[in-house]
A and B are shown apart, each in its own frame.
Chain A
Amino acid sequence: MLSQIILNDNPPARAAVVTSARATTWPEMRELAQAIVNAYPKMGKRRVGMSFPPTAQSYAALAALDRLSSDVFLFDSHLSFEETRRRAIRLRLGALLVAPENGDPSALSVHELPDEAQWSGTGTVTILTSGSTGAPKAATHTWQSLCRPVREDWKCPAPRWLLTYRPNLYAGLQVMLQCFTNSGTLVAVEPEMAPQAVTQLIYDTGVEFVSATPSFWRRLLMFSDRDFLRSLHISQITLGGEVVDQPILDMLRLHFPKARLVHIYATTELGRCFSVNDGLAGFPVSFLNTVLPDQVELKVQEQELLVRSPNAMRKYDRYSDARLDAGDWFATGDLVEQSSDRVFFVGRTSEMINVAGNKVYPIEVEQTIRTVPGVSDVRVYGKSSSIAGELVACDIVVDPKQNPQKVKENVLQVCRTQLASHQLPRLLKVVEHIDISLAGKTLRTKTYD
């Protein structure tokens, strides 16, 4: 499918991929893809790994491997070559393709690997993710399953999309496909890019569609010039990857009153499940126990959201550590709470903190702390205790204009009045910033130092 889009006979003249280093047009990307098809016919019908930076060359190589019906495995370009190779061997891949950040296709290096497992018999795309539990997972999609939720948008031809997600993960592939299907321009952001540089790039390239995590937006809103931010002509903001809470939606609504606000629920395994665009956190109760667009179905069992989705992957790879449970309903690991008409996400089954036998959901505590004026960002996690199992710990980022000690006292005051005593963050630290993962999500690893 990607090959049909990129190896199209009549590519538009506009830019296809823009990075801070260069812009590549559609005809140039097409030419790159064709050159790779011609140069590497031996990569066809095999298990091939690819280091995947967000460049035109990566997408061209991906289209070429699609044309060659290969089973492609996408590796994060931030991994060292040695680590990528080690993982590729573990997955019994036959070859590793490394695209340099810049350069012509002849500079693509191919590394043959020993002991290749059998080709699947049809071209596939496997997404490699560590998941929230840290166990490596290899989710095998087909181009059909990846493209199924993508929409052709006649109202907005040639859209300009900002890619903030890692290009090798599900969300990054979705943004690329949504953009390329509509012959648009993909503007790629590196995770280490400074907030001012990101807003400048949005301005310079005329980006209209921004797809990012709430954490990405919080960072941008915290450090960017607000007037400059408001001057950007953003017509749609798509949030995903983590729980979307009301304060971030309200904040975006305030600064971008004309933008359509959409939050998407998707996972690597299930693909895109549903989207919400009423500007409210959570999703309507009416989404449960019915058939949604794309024939996705949702139900709640013991507080956990279960999904059946035709956009799902085909399977985990044979050499993945993860296995799919029997049955077509998939337990998402996301815990939900229902009010009369709304379903809210309260945390992950794996992130739950156990304080002397009491369950504490980090998100619930984080949402309470976020309401305190002067708190720019917060992360709540469990700190292991020899006495109580775990205690609630939290890191907060304080608005530079505020007195950190005062904000800290206000946080404790609000927590004491609004949370149960076992939910009270006992260990509270003011930090410079909250780390977010490469996938753009708040890292809730259980550490405290």
Chain B
Amino acid sequence: MITITENQSRIIQVLTEVFLIKNLPVPALSPETVLDQIGLESLDFAHAVIRMEELTGKDPFATETEFQIKTLSDLAAMYD
């Protein structure tokens, strides 16, 4: 059974919101989802980051300059 961390589940939640706001079908999202393959635009990503800040109180992109994000779990790990 796959266990999902709290932040992974938050990322799934906010990405779902992003697709719903744009009225697009929500793709299957899991920790292994490769983020640049689900049709996210830069504004979608900005939107998700603001929503994550609201949920976690953190914005890692405001402070860090080096990122290496491929999958959904990489992104979630930045909030751990």
Contact = CB atoms under 8 A, between A and B. Distances in A.
Contacts of B18: 426
B2 interface: no
Interface string B13-42: 000001001110000000000000000011
B11 to A, nearest CB: 15
B23 A387 contact: no
A388 B61 contact: no
Contacts of A205: none
B49 to A, nearest CB: 5
A404 to B, nearest CB: 16
Interface in A347-394: 355-356, 383, 385-388, 391
A428 B21 CA distance: 9
B21 A424 contact: yes
A412 interface: yes
Contact of B43 (A355, A412, A416): A355
Contacts of A424: 21-22
A80 interface: no
Chain A contact residues, majority secondary structure = mixed
Contact of B46 (A391, A412, A416): A391
A387 B22 contact: no
Nearest to B20: A412
Contacts of B61: 386-387
Interface in A416-449: 416, 421-422, 424, 426-428
A385 B23 contact: no
A413 interface: yes
Given A421-B43, A426-B43, A387 B21 contact: no
Interface residues of B, number: 16
Contact of A383 (B23, B41, B42, B50): B50
Interface in A265-323: none
Given A386-B61, A387-B61, A391-B50, A426 B45 contact: no
Nearest to A358: B43
Most chain-A Cβ atoms within 10 A of its Cβ — which of B45, B50, B51?
B50
Contact of A386 (B23, B41, B59): B59
Contacts of A427: 47, 50-51
B62 interface: yes
B49 A386 contact: yes
Nearest to A385: B46
A316 B59 CA distance: 42
Contact of A416 (B23, B49, B51, B59): B23
A282 B32 CA distance: 53
B50 to A, nearest CB: 6
B22 A416 contact: yes
Contacts of A413: 23
Most chain-A Cβ atoms within 10 A of its Cβ — which of B21, B23, B41, B46?
B46
Q: Which 3 A-B pairs have the closest CB atoms?
A: A387-B46, A388-B46, A386-B62
23 contacts: A356-B43, A356-B46, A383-B50, A385-B50, A386-B46, A386-B61, A387-B45, A387-B49, A388-B46, A391-B46, A391-B47, A412-B21, A412-B23, A413-B23, A416-B22, A421-B41, A422-B43, A426-B18, A426-B21, A426-B46, A426-B50, A427-B47, A428-B21
Interface of A: 355-356, 383, 385-388, 391, 412-413, 416, 421-422, 424, 426-428
Interface of B: 18, 21-23, 41-43, 45-47, 49-51, 59, 61-62
